[in-house]
Amino acid sequence: MTSEPTRRSSLTRFAWLSIAAAILTIALKATAYL
């Protein structure tokens, strides 16, 4: 099980990416409503 740390790091990176995308979408919607 040597691939566990790499999988976890890539998973965390994907999580941060999705969070950033959600924040970006919310920001775009907010600016569109203004």
pTM given for the model: 0.63
pLDDT at 9: 86
Report pLDDT for 5: 67
Long-range Cβ pairs for the range 24-30 (8 Å, 24+): none
What is the reported pLDDT for 33?
87
d(CA 12, CA 18): 10
> What does the block give as tokens for 10?
């890539």
pLDDT by 10-residue block (mean), the chain, 34 residues: 71 95 97 89
Chain centroid to Cα 20, Å, comes to 4
SS3 1: coil
- Residue 29, SS3 per DSSP: helix
How many structural domains is the chain composed of? 1
Q: Which domain, by its residues, includes 7? A: 1-34
> Token digits for 32?
């569109």
